[in-house]
Amino acid sequence: MEQVRSWKAQRIVERLSQKLTRQILLSLEACVHCGLCTDQCHYVLANPGDVTYAPAYKADKIRKFFKAHWDWTGRAFPWWVGARSLYSDEELEDLKDTVFGKCTNCRRCSLACPMGVDMATFNRMARGLLSWVGVMPEGVAVVAKDQWEIGNQMGVLKEDYLETLKWMEEELQEEYHDPTIRIPIDQPDCNVVYAINPREVKYDPRTIAEAAAIFHFAGESWTMPSEGWDMTNFGLFNGDDELAAAAAARVYDAVERLRGKKLVMSECGHGYRSTRCEGPNWLGREVPFEMESSVVTMLRYIREGRIKVDPSRNPEPVTYHDSCNNARSCGMFEEPRELLRLVCLDFREMYPNRAENYCCTGGGGAMSMSEYAPRRLRSARIKAEQLRATGAKIVATSCHNCVDGLYDLIRHYKLDMQVKLLVSLVANALVVPVRVPVPAARRPLEGRTILVIDDEPDVRLYLSKIFAEQGCEVMDAPDANQAMRAIKARKPDLITLDLVLPRKTGEKLYWELRRDPEYQDLPVVVVSGYASIESPRIDFHGFLREKGLPEPEGFIEKPVDVERLLETVRCALQNSRRGQA
Amino acid sequence: MHAISPQLALIQDELQIAALTFMATVYGLKIRWILRFRAGRDRQAPTGDADAARGARYSLAAIAMPWAMPSARRHPLLYFQFVVFHLAVAASIAMSFLIPYAPQAIAHPMIVRGLQALFAAGLAVGLLRLTRRLRDPYVRAISTPDDYFSLALLLVWLALSILAAPNRPDLGEGPLLAYFLLTAFLLVYVPFSKISHYIYYPFARWYLGRTLGHRGVYPLKRSRPAQA
C-alpha cells in the first residue's frame, strides 16, 4: 500500500526539483561513505560516539530523500542504496533538527572530502526546503520575517538607526574634540558607502564610531545609507534564496542610488559572504561597483599611510579566529593577520587556523536558535580548548556572529579572554594627528578670500576649515546662483568649484565667469568627484577638451588630498594677475 | 601463448565488449542527465588575484596531494590504503584488457608476481576497509547494502585477479573464466552502484574547485602550527 505523504512533505518533494543545481546533484551523488569527513566536525569531536553528528550521516538524511526521487538505483531499488522519501511532518521535524541544529554550515567537512562533496551547500538547500513550508526554528522564522518586512534582520527602525548614528557622531566629536568628525548619511558620489550589521546599532554602536573615526582620519569620502544599510543576510542561513536575493539587492540599490564607488562592509562573516560572494549569484546579475571588507580597507589605509597606528596600545596577547564564511567561503585569510600584526604587539596563531579553523559554534544562524543552545555550548568545547591553548587574552575576529558565539563559549568555559573585532583594535591603536595651529606669521593664505562652492555641506565645511586654518577668509555657496551673488558682492581671490551642482551646473558657472571680463581672470580650482563608474579616475583634461572649456587654474579630485589642494591653491594665487599685483 | 577454449574466448572478448558497451552507454546517459541540471556560476568579481581555472585544476589534483587535504593528513594510513586499493583495481582493469589483446605485455614472471602482489595488497586493504565499515560505528551508520556489496564484489574480483594474473589456461581455465565473468558483471553493475563514483569525481571536484578558486580559497591556505 502506498504510504500517505503529508501536505508539507509533498510540497518539499515538489520543490526539490527546483533547487537542484548541477553542483548540488553531484554532491548528493558522489559520496562514497568513506567517513573521512567524520572527525572534521566539531560536533563529532565534542560528542564522541554519537553518530548522528557525523557529516556524512547528516548529509545522508538529505541524500536518502534525494535518492528516493532522483537517483536511478534509488528509485528502482531504494533499500539497496538507503533511499527513503519524506512522508510525515515528524520526519520533517527530525530533518530540521539535523540541518539547523547539528550543522553550522561551516564547510570544514566539505574541504576535507576527497570527492569534493560540498555538504554545507546542500545542507543550506535542505534548510531552504524546510523553511519554505515553515519548518524552522522559531528564532530563524522571526529574524527572517524582520529582514523581509523591516529591511534588517534585527528589526531596527529607521529612526533608531539614524538616531544611533547621530549619537555616535556626537560621541566622536566630543572624544576627539573635533567638530568636523561626521557620520555622513546619504551623501552622494562618495568613494565609500559603508554598510553594517544591525547588531552594531542594537548592541555594539561603538564599532560604528570606531569605523567612523578611521574613515575620518584617513580623509575618506564616505557615507552610510539611510536605507539598505544592513549587509547581513538571513537568507544565507535559512536557505531562502528569494530572501537572500532581496536582502542583497537592498544594499546594492543603496550604493547605486548614492552613486558610491565602493561598498565597504563592516566585520560580519556571513554578511560579507552574502553580499560580496553570493549576492550577485542569487540575483543573477553582476554588480557594477567594488565591494570589500572593512578589514581590507583598514589595512589599505595603514599601508598607504593614511592612518597611523601604534601597536603598543594593544599590548595583550591576541589570537585570531577565522570566520568560516570569511575564510572557507570567501578566501579572506591573510589580510586580518597582516592587520593584527600592525596594530598589536603580540599576535599569536591558534591551531588549526585559516581554512582548517574550527567554527565559533555560533555560525549558520545558530545564535538565533535558542532551543539548540545547550547542544551548541557542549560542542563548543573544541573551540574552547583551541582558544585556551593560545594563552591569548584577546581573541580577535572579523565577524559579529563569531563575537556572540565566542563570547558565549568563553563565559561557559570560563576562559580568561575577551572577544574583539579588528575595528576596535585598529581604533585603539589609531594615532590621531595633533592639530598644531600654524603661527600667524607663517600662515600662507593670510589676507586672501576664498569662495568654496559645493552643494555638499560636509565638503563646504571641510574645505572652509582647511582654508581658515591657513589664515584666509572663507565664504561658501551651495549652488551656482548663490555663488554668483557672493562673487558680485565681494570679489574673492580664488574660488573652489564643484562641477556637480543642483540646477545650474558648475560647468555653466565656470563658462559665465570666463566670459565675463570682470571675472575672467578670477582663479578657479575645480574640486570635483565627477567620474563615471566605468572609469573611476577622472580624465579631467579629456573632459575639458570634450566640453570645449578653457583650462582652470587647478583641478583636485575628490576625495581631497589636503596637501595637494593647498599647493594648488597657493600656485593659483601666485600665478594669477591678482596675485602678482 | 596458450590455446584457449571457445567459451573463454567468448567471455574474455565478446562478452567484455558487450558489457563495456553497456557501461559506456549508461555512463553516456548519466553524463547527459547530469548536464541537464543548470550549473551555478560565480558572477561576483574574483577575490584578489584568484583564478577559477587554477582552483579547478588544484581541486582535481588534490587527491594526489595528501598534504593538501586535511583528512588525508590526519589519516595517512587510510590514504595509503586508498592508494593501494585503487592501484590494484586499476591494474586489474588494465589486466582485463591485456590478457585477451596483449598477453605478452604481462607474460614475464616478474610482472606476474608484481601484479599478484599488488592484487594481494589491494585485497588485504579491501579486507581492512570492510572491517572498518563493519566495526567503525560512524562508517557502519552510513553504510548501505550497496556499500557492502560493492566492496565485497571488488574483494572477490581482486582475489580472482591473483589467480588470473599468470594467464595459464593450460593449467585450467577456471580462474580466468571466473575472473572474466565477474569483470563482465562488474561492468554492468558498476554504473548503478557506488563504484561509479569515479564518474562523478571529476565533475564534483571541478565545480567545487572552480567556485573555491574564484573565491581565493583554493589552492588551500594550509593551517600552520602556532609559532613558539
CA A554, CA A522: separation in Å to the nearest integer?
12
CB-based contact, A82 to chain B, within 8 Å: yes
Peptide bond into A352 cis (omega under 30): yes
Q: How far is B73 from chain A (nearest CA, A)?
A: 10
Q: How confident is the model at residue A71 (pLDDT cuts 50, 70, 90)?
A: very high
- With pLDDT > 90 as the criterion, what percentage of chain A qualifies? 77
Task: State how far the alpha carbon of A30 is from the alpha carbons of A34, A59, A83, B208, in Å.
Answer: 11, 12, 14, 12
Residue located via cell numbers 594627528:
A433
Using pLDDT thresholds of 50, 70 and 90, give the confidence band for residue A181. very high
Does residue B92 lie in a domain region?
A: yes
A276 and chain B in contact, CB less than 8 A: yes
For residue A171, count other CB atoms closer than 10 A to its CB.
Answer: 17
Length, in residues, of chain A: 581
Ranges of H-type helices in A422-456: 422-429
A399, pLDDT greater than 60 = yes
Whether A533 has its CB under 8 Å from any CB of chain B: the answer is no
Average pLDDT value over all residues in chain A? 92
Closest by CA to A512, choosing from A481, A535, A558, is A481
Give the closest-approach CA distance of B99 to chain A in angstroms: 30
Residue A436, pLDDT above cutoff 70: no
Q: Which residue of A has its CA nearest to B228?
A: A348
Q: How far apart are CA A494 and CA A448, in angstroms?
A: 8
Quick check: A156 and A202 in contact, CB under 8 A?
Answer: yes
Per-residue model confidence (pLDDT) at position A470: 84
Pairwise CB contact (< 8 Å): B197 & A354: no
Collect all residues with Cβ–Cβ distance below 8 Å to B133 and sequence separation of at least 6.
Answer: B139, B140, B143, B147, B148, B151
Is B192 in contact with A355 (Cβ distance < 8 A)?
A: no
Contact between chains at B38 and A22 (C-beta distance less than 8 A): yes
Which residue in A106, A55, A27 sits closest to A356, CA to CA? Answer: A106
Q: Does A81 contact B70 at a Cβ distance shorter than 8 Å? A: no
pLDDT > 50? residue A580: no
Q: With respect to residue B228, please indicate whether it lies within any of the assigned structural domains.
A: no
Count: domains in chain B: 1
Q: Is the ipTM here above 0.90?
A: yes
Q: Do B42 and A281 touch (CB under 8 A)?
A: yes
Rounded Cα distance between B198 and A235, Å, is 34
What is the pLDDT at residue B228? 43
Nearest to A348 among B44, B203, B227 (CB): B227
Statement: residue A98 has pLDDT above 90: yes
**Does B223 reside within a domain?**
no
| Angstrom distance (rounded) from CA A38 to CA A109 | 8
Residue A494, strand partner residues:
A450
Give the closest-approach CA distance of A79 to chain B in angstroms: 8
pLDDT in tens, A198-256: 999 999 999 999 999 999 999 999 999 999 999 999 999 999 999 999 999 999 999 99
For the stretch A99-135, what's the b/e string if a residue is b when 16 or more beta carbons lie within 10 angstroms of its beta carbon?
A: bbbbbbbbbbbbbbbbbbbbbbbbbbbbbbbbbbbeb
Kindly report the nearest CA distance between residue B15 and chain A, in angstroms.
24
Structure-block grid coordinates of residue B203: 565533475
Q: What pLDDT shows up at residue A423?
A: 98
Length of chain B: 228
Taking the CA of residue A326 and the nearest CA in chain B, the distance in Å comes to: 10
Q: Which three cell numbers stand for residue A7?
A: 501536505
| pLDDT band at A531; cut points 50, 70, 90 | low
Helices and strands (DSSP H and E) totals, chain A: 29, 15
A34–B contact, CB cutoff 8 A: yes
| pLDDT reported for residue A445 | 85
Query: Which of A555, A414, A500, A433 lies closest to A188, judged by CA?
Result: A500
A572: confidence class by pLDDT, cuts 50, 70, 90: confident
Mutate to test the interface with B, among A66, A111, A263, A319 (most CBs of B within 10 A): A111
The answer to whether A50 contacts chain B (CB < 8 Å) is no
Q: Which of A114, A117, A331 sits opposite B50 (nearest CB)?
A: A331
Contact flag B217-A331 (C-beta cutoff 8 Å): yes
Single-letter code of the amino acid located at B79: Y
pLDDT of B68-123, one tens digit each? 898 999 999 999 999 999 999 999 999 999 999 999 999 999 999 999 999 999 99
Beta-sheet pairing, A473-477 with A449-453? parallel
Contacting residues of A for B63, CB less than 8 Å apart: 114
Q: Is the pLDDT of residue A544 over 80?
A: no
Q: Which three cell numbers stand for residue B217?
A: 580559497
Closest CB to B223 among A37, A286, A352: A352
Q: What percent of chain A has pLDDT over 70?
A: 96
Give how far Cα B6 sits from Cα of B10, B11, B12, B160, B161, Å. Answer: 6, 9, 10, 20, 21
Site of grid cell 554588480? A287
Mean pLDDT of A526-539: 66
pLDDT of residue A405: 97
State the burial class of residue B156 (Cβ atoms within 10 Å of its Cβ: 0-12, 13-18, 19+): middle
Cβ within 8 Å of B, A 295-334? 327-334
Contacts of A280 in chain B (CB under 8 A): 43-44
- Please report the domains of chain A, with CATH numbers, ordered by start residue: 7-136 (1.10.1060), 145-430 (no CATH), 440-580 (3.40.50.2300)
User: How far apart are the C-alpha atoms of B212 and A355, rounded to whole Å?
Assistant: 11
Average pLDDT over residues A54-69: 98
Residue B219 maps to a domain: no
Amino acid A514: pLDDT: 87
Q: What is the pLDDT of residue A581?
A: 39
Domain span at residue B190 reads 6-33+47-214
Summarised one tens digit per residue, pLDDT across range A269-321 is 999 999 999 999 999 999 999 999 999 999 999 999 999 999 999 999 999 99
CATH code assigned at B143: 1.20.950.20
User: Can you say whether the dihedral through the CA atoms of A128, B33, B42, B53 is positive or negative?
Assistant: positive
B206 contact residues in A (CB cutoff 8 A): 116
Q: Residues of A numbered 332-371 whose beta carbons fall under 8 angstroms of chain B's beta carbons: which are they?
A: 332-334, 348-357
pLDDT value, residue A439: 52
Residue type, position A174, single letter:
E
Report CB contact under 8 Å: A281, B71: no
Burial (Cβ within 10 Å: 0-12, 13-18, ≥19) of residue A440: exposed
Does B26 map to a domain?
yes
Report yes or no: A311 and B189 within 8 Å, Cβ to Cβ. Answer: no
Structure confidence by residue, pLDDT tens digits, B152-168? 999 999 999 999 999 99
Q: Is residue B175 part of a domain?
A: yes
B193–A356 C-beta distance less than 8 A: no
Query: What's the distance, CA B23 to chain centroid?
Result: 15
CA distance A478 to A469: 21
Rounded to whole angstroms, how far apart are CA atoms B74 and B62? 15
Decide if B64 is inside a domain: yes
Record: contact B139-A49, CB cut-off 8 A: no
Q: Under an 8 A CB cutoff, do B144 and A353 touch? A: no
Calpha distance A57→A528 (Å, rounded):
60
Contacts of B125 in chain A (CB under 8 A): none
Sheet containing A449-453: order of strands:
A473-477, A449-453, A494-497, A524-528, A554-557
Task: Please indicate, yes or no, if residue B162 is contained in any of the structural domains.
Answer: yes
pTM, 2 dp: 0.82
